[in-house]
């Protein structure tokens, strides 16, 4: 085999490897039987799945969560620094009282902020709690999304329906992300999974 022929074969093999690698990364991710597509479209932008995992409470699976961003991020700081659209998609794995979930989210925000910063967000936190309490219960399979849309704010969608007016402050979305990505996350393994770290 001539040198040029060997180079051509090598180049072909390399191209095949790149195609395989690309198709491998483009596969949806299934977590606890919930499928997260590799991409999600938000406000005209195509976001990519950064990571997905399961929220456990003791030994029970409560919900799955998937984080979508414009580009991959491996730290909470990198997630916060991105100025484009972002999405947290959550699918319940068991029935839960929605009011209780709203309280847990409020506590999660408070646990990851200093008191002064949290106090500024209290009106939004109360409104978010009201959104969840109006749904009474979330059943296994129910989905809700928390989206950051630049120029609009944080949009909470429950079972396919946007809930009320957007929360305008960028700080509110970042505080919500603190529930999962903060220094006191709801679940450390879920935090790692959302940041794309191997289990």
109-127 pLDDT, tens per residue? Answer: 999 999 999 999 999 999 9
pLDDT digits (tens, 9 = 90+) for 125-153: 999 999 988 888 999 999 999 999 999 99
Give the per-residue pLDDT at 11. 41
Task: Report strand pairing: 60-69 vs 86-92.
Answer: antiparallel
Say whether pLDDT at 175 is over 80.
yes
Question: Sign of the C-alpha dihedral, residues 12, 16, 19, 21?
Answer: negative
Per-residue model confidence (pLDDT) at position 58: 85
Q: Is 104 exposed, middle or buried (0-12, 13-18, 19+ CB in 10 A)?
A: middle
- At 134 the pLDDT is 87
Mean pLDDT (the chain, rounded): 88
DSSP state, residue 175: H
In angstroms, the CA 171 to CA 8 distance is 54
Which among 100, 127, 103, 125 has a CA at the least distance from the CA of 175? 125
Cβ atoms within 10 Å of 20's Cβ, excluding its own: 10
Report the distance separating Cα 175 and Cα 4, nearest Å. Answer: 58
Burial class of 89 by CB neighbour count within 10 A (0 to 12, 13 to 18, 19+): buried
**pTM assigned to the model:** 0.85
Considering just the CA atoms, what is the radius of gyration of the chain in Å?
Answer: 20
Find, among 126, 116, 107, 119, the residue nearest to 185 by Cα.
107
Structural domains present in the chain: 28-194 (3.50.70.10)
Structure tokens at 28: 């949806």
């Amino acid at each position: 085999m001539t040198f040029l022929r060997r180079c051509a074969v090598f180049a072909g093999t390399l191209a095949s490897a790149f195609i395989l690698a690309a198709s491998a990364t483009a596969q949806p991710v299934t977590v606890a039987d919930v499928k997260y597509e590799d991409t999600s479209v938000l406000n005209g932008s195509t976001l990519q799945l950064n990571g997905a995992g399961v929220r456990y409470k003791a030994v029970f699976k409560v919900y799955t969560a998937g984080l979508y961003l414009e580009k991959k991020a491996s730290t909470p700081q990198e997630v916060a620094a991105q100025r484009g659209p972002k999405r947290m998609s959550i699918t319940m794995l068991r029935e839960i009282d929605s009011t209780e979930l709203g309280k847990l989210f409020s506590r999660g925000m408070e646990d990851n902020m200093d008191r002064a910063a949290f106090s500024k967000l209290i009106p939004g936190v109360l409104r978010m709690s009201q959104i969840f309490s109006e749904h009474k219960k979330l059943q296994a399979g129910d989905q809700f999304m928390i989206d950051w849309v630049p120029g609009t704010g944080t949009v909470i969608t429950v079972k396919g329906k946007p809930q009320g007016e957007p929360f305008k402050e960028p700080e509110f979305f970042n505080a919500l992300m603190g529930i999962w990505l903060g220094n006191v996350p709801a679940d450390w393994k879920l935090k790692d999974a959302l940041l794309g770290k191997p289990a």
